[in-house]
Structure 1
Amino acid sequence: MPDTERNLRASLISTQIVGMVMNRYIWQIGTIATLPAPSVTDLIAPTIQHYLADPLPPSLSDDSRSPGRPDRSSESRQPFSGPPPSR
């Protein structure tokens, strides 16, 4: 497996775990905050397994670019300057 795919899969898995931790323990939002740990594992495990083993969407092939989409990796990006001022 190429490094880029490995890194992408690891990032996808981390979004699931960090999101669950934030929702369950930090924000304590909804039923997910009070579910027993085995139930949480049963809910999140299929998604993590999917990211580990299943094929990625075809749109991510060819260096993670969709067909017909220009490569903008060399373009300079402006840093986020925040929301526009209030009127």
Structure 2
Amino acid sequence: MQQSRTKEEKQELVELYKQSGMSVRAFAEEFNLNLATFRNWLYKKQPETKPADDNLNFVEVKATQEIKFNGRQEIRIQKNGIEISIP
């Protein structure tokens, strides 16, 4: 049976999640929440911020070169065939 929560309860759970340091999946399991539903609450609370994917990992990259461009410096970072230019 589906449990309906008030807007205030949803906001409380979202705030508790933010302070918990837990992954979205772990928090949903801990509080017996449907993962997709809980993620939806997070999107509605902060539409510009997508919750981190539990499988997301950071990759260290190093600048390969620095060049002059129109009098400004630009940093180019290349990793695994992807290049990022930072003015």
Structure number with greater Rg is: 2
Structure with greater strand share of residues: 2
Structure with greater helix share of residues: 1
Instruction: Normalising by structure 1, report the TM-score.
Output: 0.25
Larger relative contact order (Cα-Cα within 8 Å, sequence gap ≥ 6)? 1
Instruction: Normalising by structure 2, report the TM-score.
Output: 0.25
